[in-house]
Amino acid sequence: MHPSLAALEERILSRSAFLEALRTELSRVIVGQQELLERLLIALLADGHVLLEGVPGLAKTLTISALAQAMQIRFQRIQFTPDLLPADLIGTLIYQQHEGRFLVRKGPIFANLVLADEVNRAPAKVQSALLEAMQERQVTIGEETFRLPEPFLVLATQNPIEQEGTYPLPEAQLDRFMFKVRVEYPTAEEELEIMRRMARTGPRPQVRPVVAPVAILEARALLDEIYLDARLERYIVDLVQATRWPERYGLKGMRPYIQYGASPRASIYLNLAARARAFLNRRPYVVPDDIRVLLPDVLRHRIVLSYEAEAEGLDAEWIIKELLERLPVP
């Protein structure tokens, strides 16, 4: 290993020490969901947002709130409904009659971890307010603009089986999410353990704070130094470009099924996420597996399928599988 990478590895080992304490503490209340936890940690390190899709009862809210408690960061859960207003999210101005002036009352968006539950139930004005917070890391109330705290992460959920009374998220907003993670059912063994822990009327295990927010910010500062080989950079670009012009990569048969490919944000987020995954695995360099494992979560919400794909029952997962199988790995 090159001396500079060896020195970086030492710093990574030092600054990632909090991960073991964090995983140990979360395992006291969370059974399974290791992939979800990894994606949440990657998003925190890479300063990205996550869209979670899964049926109710899969511990999405529990996992997120437990992570916030273990890291001593502020957590807010916002239930999105059709009658939600932007002021319910970002805050508003309140007139103080005895003082003769307006005061700012900040909304629940001013937190480190914000769970936007059933995000697709809110109307366009609320989505617009959330979009500014996600993209600009700031909120405008009246004539004042306020910075959001660091770290700041939006975790939005949507239910894939209940679509009545929902507003499909616009493509521009979907593109702001680093990941779209599909939360799956637990295995039989995991569900047995969940039942034994939770099917009780007495006190349940509580998460203790074991990590300070500064640990995440210090770890985040190392991501730029993690080595990403030029061949892997080209591999990332090829994977994303192939969603736009598949015929250039020998995937002509895929062309009729893609209406729009992924935007350049996909390349940026895949680069950042791969380096964050390398950090989680205590490596000072990215390997092809970092890219390949994360590709579905980065691409599945960025590929717009054609009517032909829908008619033949194909989805973005099929496109991604084809890319992984047929594009050569460096």
How much is the pLDDT for 226?
A: 93
Q: Same structural domain for residues 137 and 244?
A: no
DSSP-assigned states of every residue in 270-326: HHHHHHHHHHHTT-SB--HHHHHHHHHHHHTTTPEEPHHHHHTT--HHHHHHHHHHH
Q: Same structural domain for residues 91 and 9?
A: yes
How much is the pLDDT for 160?
A: 67
Q: Which of 168, 177, 150 is nearest to 266 (CA)?
A: 177
Q: Same structural domain for residues 251 and 235?
A: yes
Q: Same structural domain for residues 233 and 111?
A: no
Of the three residues 220, 247, 280, the one that is the final residue of a domain is 220
* Segments of 69-217 assigned E as strands: 75-79, 91-96, 101-106, 113-117, 138-141, 144-147, 153-158, 177-182
Q: Same structural domain for residues 155 and 278?
A: no
Alpha-carbon gap, residue 220 to 280, rounded angstroms:
11
Of the three residues 152, 186, 220, the one that is the final residue of a domain is 220
Q: Same structural domain for residues 237 and 167?
A: no
Q: What total of structural domains would you count in the chain?
A: 2
At 144 the three-state DSSP class reads strand
How much is the pLDDT for 2?
A: 62
How much is the pLDDT for 4?
A: 79
CATH number at residue 40: 3.40.50.300
Q: Same structural domain for residues 180 and 243?
A: no
Q: Same structural domain for residues 148 and 236?
A: no
Which pTM does this prediction carry?
Answer: 0.88
CATH number at residue 248: 1.10.8.80
Of the three residues 189, 220, 251, the one that is the final residue of a domain is 220
pLDDT tens track, the chain, 330 positions: 666 788 888 888 888 888 888 888 888 888 877 888 889 889 989 999 999 887 777 777 888 888 888 888 888 999 888 888 888 888 888 877 777 778 888 889 999 999 988 888 888 888 888 888 888 888 888 788 889 988 899 998 887 655 555 667 777 778 889 999 988 888 888 888 888 877 777 777 778 888 888 888 888 888 989 999 999 999 999 999 999 999 988 888 888 889 889 999 999 999 999 999 999 999 999 999 999 999 999 999 999 888 998 888 888 999 999 999 999 998
Share above pLDDT 90 across residues of the chain, in percent, rounded to a whole number:
30
Question: Domain of 251?
Answer: 226-326
How much is the pLDDT for 163?
A: 56
Q: Same structural domain for residues 216 and 241?
A: no
Q: Same structural domain for residues 213 and 231?
A: no
How much is the pLDDT for 170?
A: 75
Q: Same structural domain for residues 99 and 157?
A: yes
Q: Same structural domain for residues 185 and 242?
A: no
Residues 6+ apart with CB under 8 A from 17: none
